[in-house]
Amino acid sequence: MNRNKIRTFLEIIYNCPFVLLVIFTSVVFLIFFDGTEGREDGKNVAALRMIEEKNPAKENDITDREEQKEDSSIVEEVQKPKEQGEKDVKNAGTRKENTIGIKNDLKCKTDNKSAEISGKQEKEKKHATEFVEYTPIETDSRYYSDAGKIALTTVYDYVLENESYFNDAAFLGDSRTLGISDYAGLEGADFFCDNGMTIYKLLEDDGVTYQKTGEKVDMKEILQEKHYGKIYIMLGMNELGYGDTPMYLRQYLKVIRQIKEWQPGVIIYVMANLHVSREKNNMETEFNNININDKNVASARLANGSDVFYLDCNPLFTDEEGYLLAELTFDGVHLYAQHYDKWRDFLFAHGVEREEIQQTEGRGQPEASGVPGDHKTV
């Protein structure tokens, strides 16, 4: 009986191949599609979520790498070694503080793009620092080259301010900044400056003189203990015979990035170095306006028109050829006291207001430490 049933079943299959196809397809489906794949996909998704939860800073890391890439591009704009075989000429000058073996001569590219420090996309409208180009001259110096352009004050809708604007301001600089401290009448501002100060020394342990007390203070501690709404930096004169322009720019960039880390929301003003007189320009090899301008053009690239601005007051004090007017200076470098009011008015006319600046509460005047230093006015 069973044999007859089996024979009948086989005859049906033989006569109806469609039934055989259905049976074969069902078996294949049961073997290969048992639902484990869906479960595996679910496990994979869960694993990916766990990885993402364990790495919340991944996006920030990418942003940091982008910032570093942007910063590198700023320095590359001014770092262009001269062709091999060009002779290495040593320059002499009384301002030379050290003879570092910098072998690369430099030449700035002619572009009008402003460098960005943060590299982040900000909602505010950014303005470029504009450059006026001219025909450069050949220089034989390991310290600088003729930039072939002049940087102008960063384009922005500045606000006319008064003395109160500087109550939360800090000025960092050399003897020129010391002159502003003594004669510009900005009593509410904090001045940290010294004769011979450089961008390389600013954050070192030796400290900077806090002009309200005359004592040396550690700028690293100051900038982490007291919050400022704006910080003005003017450094570059004492660097003219020390290192080259890309080295100067790299250190300037490093300082600004560190300040922004310690001072969130701060507005930074990069102030151009004042030119020297015609007589002073001709006295020393490195101490000349071409070198000063090379440093100014480099530092101007740090401005982004958002939280870093480049201010050039040279047009107030120089002639048509860019020399500091002889009647305004007693040594070809520093202004007479009565002319600092023009500098003060220039600062008044270039205020930047930002409501989103974060003010840190509960931080008082910086504590001075170290041995009081002599306040030498030049």
The reply to whether 222 falls in a domain is yes
Domain count of the chain?
A: 1
Report the pLDDT value the prediction gives residue 250, as an integer from 0 to 100. 98
Report the pLDDT value the prediction gives residue 83, as an integer from 0 to 100. 39
Task: Report helix, strand or coil for 335.
Answer: strand
Work out whether the CA dihedral 215, 221, 224, 230 comes out positive or negative: positive
- Bridge partners (DSSP) of residue 148 are none
The reply to whether 42 falls in a domain is no
The reply to whether 376 falls in a domain is no
- In order of 52, 53, 56, 58, 99, the CA distances from 46 in angstroms are 10, 11, 16, 18, 61
DSSP state, 164? G
CA–CA separation, 299 and 235 (whole Å): 10
The reply to whether 29 falls in a domain is no
Structural domain including 217 reads 82-348
The reply to whether 123 falls in a domain is yes
pTM above 0.95, yes or no: no
Report the pLDDT value the prediction gives residue 268, as an integer from 0 to 100. 98
The reply to whether 363 falls in a domain is no
Report the pLDDT value the prediction gives residue 282, as an integer from 0 to 100. 73
The reply to whether 159 falls in a domain is yes
CA–CA separation, 177 and 64 (whole Å): 33
- In order of 99, 142, 334, the CA distances from 108 in angstroms are 23, 14, 28
CA–CA separation, 119 and 175 (whole Å): 32
CA–CA separation, 221 and 253 (whole Å): 19
Give yes or no for a contact between 291 and 299, defined as CB atoms under 8 angstroms apart: no
* CATH number (domain holding residue 91): 3.40.50.1110
Report the pLDDT value the prediction gives residue 361, as an integer from 0 to 100. 38
- Please count the CA atoms within 13 angstroms of the CA of 42 that sit on its side-chain side: 5
The reply to whether 308 falls in a domain is yes
- Residue 315 belongs to what H/E stretch? helix 314-317
pLDDT in tens, the chain (378 residues): 566 666 766 666 666 666 566 676 766 566 655 444 444 444 444 444 444 444 444 445 544 565 666 666 676 666 653 333 333 333 333 333 333 333 333 333 334 434 443 443 343 445 578 999 999 999 989 999 999 999 999 999 999 999 999 999 999 999 999 999 999 999 999 999 999 999 999 999 999 999 999 999 999 999 999 999 999 999 999 999 999 999 999 999 999 999 999 999 999 999 999 999 999 997 567 999 999 999 999 999 999 999 999 999 999 999 999 999 999 999 999 999 999 999 999 999 999 997 644 443 334 444 333 333 333 333
Strand segments (E) across the chain: 131-133, 149-151, 169-173, 190-193, 208-210, 215-217, 230-234, 267-271, 308-311
